Amino acid sequence: MRAALALVAVVASTGSLPKAGMLVPGHSLGGVRLGETAAQTREALGSFYGRCDGCASTTFYFTYGKWTRTGLAVELQGGRVAALYTLWQPPGWHTAAGLRLGAVEGQVTSLAGPVVPVVCAGYTVLVRDAHGTRTAYYVVDGKLWGFGLMRARANPCHT
């Protein structure tokens, strides 16, 4: 029994990308909050990540395996998390209200509350600003493609 508990403690302390991550609007995405340090993020999500060479700010890509596209991007400014967004459409990611990636746009507007559309190249982002934080719902072809969390009034479009 002690060995099992010790193993759980080691796994919990090393962190990993959640298999079914959750967006808590205005609060966290995949268990990570805005303002956390890079070290706190790696503790929560693990050490398996790539680094974007061509991004304007330091950006980590936490994915489920080598050469896989789905996961979570973490942008840092001044060594702290400034933005988070899902990569592609990781299966099982959802909100506490039951909104799941892949939902139709109407479900987003009914479950997320009042949102404002921001048109980006090839997709739309439905955003809601509250308490200094912007929650973003990425919509492609009428379906929820991804989640994002950033500072209020930040540009949610990514190239």
**Tell me, what's the pLDDT at 3?**
33
For residue 27, the cross-strand partners are none
pLDDT, tens digit (0-9, with 9 covering 90-100), for 7-32: 222 333 367 999 999 999 999 999 99
Mean pLDDT of 115-143: 97
The band of 75, judged by pLDDT with boundaries at 50, 70 and 90, is very high
Asked if 129 and 115 count as a contact pair (C-beta separation under 8 A), the reply is no
Q: Are strands 32-33 and 28-29 parallel, antiparallel or unpaired?
A: antiparallel
Asked if 156 and 120 count as a contact pair (C-beta separation under 8 A), the reply is yes
> How far is Cα 44 from Cα 30, in angstroms, rounded to an integer?
9
Mean pLDDT of 51-72: 92
Q: What is the pTM of this model?
A: 0.88
CB-based burial label for 86 (10 Å; 0-12, 13-18, 19+): buried
Instruction: Locate 109 and state its tokens.
Output: 């507007």
Q: Are strands 94-95 and 22-24 parallel, antiparallel or unpaired?
A: parallel
